[in-house]
């Protein structure tokens, strides 16, 4: 992550045009960008999400030091007209991504949904986040199928009920109901992925408990390699420790990579090697591979 200030920030032309059109000086919105750049990704995302809906956007604007209420007497709030809110939301997202490069990355891979939202990455990500949260907390097959049935219904109240069941508010459901069919399609795909993942984990669990993995030392005597430095307690690892937290969003953004990973785990399993032990001995194994390649 890199740091930046509002002074260093260069607003895109289309946002500057909106400022000119509405007669709002850059200085009025400057504080909003200063506040936004300091927010964590999750808090900032849901602030952007709420700015997308007329009913709940005022509180989010207030957090940024702004208001659309011309009658407001709050001294710490600057007034902006309603028509500037959406351009502001989009520019905040853009500028935040310049600082937090991984923010919302991968969500546009769900092309069907991304296109249905008119390529609005905030809507796309918010829908996917809600669907993942629901799948994580509702494993019952009948309940999931009921949601799909409601979303695919031609009856408006059924569609509304399906969206509400997924955790969307009345205001959100009203805006999202025209794309309910696409949301149902994405939900079905996500449920299928979740089912596949659970089956795969269950099969790995059975395998690991049904037979022990062979010890690497029984297959190759790693300690005989003179050019391999022995690992001792307290040794500083040369690799930078990963700070990535495994979440539903991370899996979504790296679906193919995870599929490849589990394929490799299966191959290790097939020859009786514990993949976790292989990871523990990564330095020694890499040195062995390098030595063999040098001889070939």
For residue 36, tell me if it sits in a domain. yes
Q: Could you tell me if 84 and 148 lie in one domain?
A: no
Q: Residue 93 pLDDT more than 80? A: yes
Tokens of 110: 């769900």
What's the pLDDT score for residue 286? 76
**How far does CA 202 lie from the centroid of its chain?**
25
What's the pLDDT score for residue 40? 93
Domain of residue 269, residue span = 211-232+241-295
What's the pLDDT score for residue 248? 67
What's the pLDDT score for residue 246? 64
Average pLDDT estimate for 35-44: 94
For residue 221, tell me if it sits in a domain. yes
Whole-prediction pTM: 0.68
For residue 114, tell me if it sits in a domain. no
Q: Are 29 and 80 in contact, with CB atoms under 8 Å apart?
A: yes
What's the pLDDT score for residue 2? 42
Domain boundary among 132, 164, 193: 193
Q: How far apart (Å, rounded) are the C-alpha atoms in residues 87 and 80?
A: 11
For residue 51, tell me if it sits in a domain. yes
Q: Could you tell me if 80 and 130 lie in one domain?
A: no
pLDDT tens-digit readout, 192-227: 888 887 777 776 655 555 555 555 555 555 555 445
Angle (CA) 90-93-94 rounded to 5° is 85
**Residue 78, strand partner residues:** 66
pLDDT tens-digit readout, 214-266: 555 555 555 554 454 444 444 444 444 444 556 666 777 777 787 778 778 77
Q: Which percentage of the chain shows pLDDT scores above 70?
A: 77
* Count of domains observed in the chain: 3
Q: Residue 109 pLDDT more than 70? A: yes
Q: Residue 65 pLDDT more than 80? A: yes
Q: Are 270 and 213 in contact, with CB atoms under 8 Å apart?
A: no
Average pLDDT of the chain? Answer: 83
For residue 163, tell me if it sits in a domain. yes
Q: Could you tell me if 174 and 216 lie in one domain?
A: no
What's the pLDDT score for residue 231? 47
Q: Are 87 and 15 in contact, with CB atoms under 8 Å apart?
A: yes
Residue, of 37 and 227, whose pLDDT is higher: 37
What's the pLDDT score for residue 218? 56
């Amino acid at each position: 992550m890199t740091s930046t200030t509002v002074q260093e920030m260069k607003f895109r032309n289309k946002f500057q045009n909106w400022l000119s059109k509405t007669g709002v000086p850059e200085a009025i919105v400057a504080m909003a960008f200063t506040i936004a750049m300091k927010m964590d990704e999750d808090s900032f995302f849901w602030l952007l999400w709420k700015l997308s809906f007329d009913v709940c956007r005022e509180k989010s604007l207030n957090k940024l030091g702004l208001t659309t209420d011309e009658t407001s007497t709050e001294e710490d709030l600057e007034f902006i007209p309603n028509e500037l809110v959406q351009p502001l939301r989009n520019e905040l997202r853009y500028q935040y991504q310049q600082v937090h490069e991984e923010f919302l990355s991968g969500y546009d891979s769900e092309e069907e949904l991304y296109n249905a939202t008119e390529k609005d990455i905030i809507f796309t990500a918010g829908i996917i986040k809600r669907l993942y949260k629901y799948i994580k907390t509702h494993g019952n097959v009948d309940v999931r199928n009921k949601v799909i049935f409601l979303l695919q219904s031609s009856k408006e109240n059924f569609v509304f009920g399906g969206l509400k069941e997924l955790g969307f508010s009345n205001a959100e459901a009203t805006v999202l109901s025209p794309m309910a069919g696409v949301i149902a399609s994405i939900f079905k795909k996500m449920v299928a992925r979740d089912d596949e993942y659970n089956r795969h984990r269950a099969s790995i669990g059975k395998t690991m408990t049904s037979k022990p993995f062979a010890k690497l030392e029984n297959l190759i005597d790693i300690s005989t390699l003179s050019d391999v430095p022995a690992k001792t307690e307290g040794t500083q690892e040369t690799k930078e420790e990963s700070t990535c937290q495994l979440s539903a969003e991370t899996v979504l953004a790296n679906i193919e990579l995870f599929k490849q990973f589990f394929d490799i785990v299966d191959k290790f399993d097939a020859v009786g090697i514990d993949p976790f032990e292989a990871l523990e001995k990564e330095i020694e194994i890499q040195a062995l591979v390098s030595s063999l390649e040098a001889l070939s």
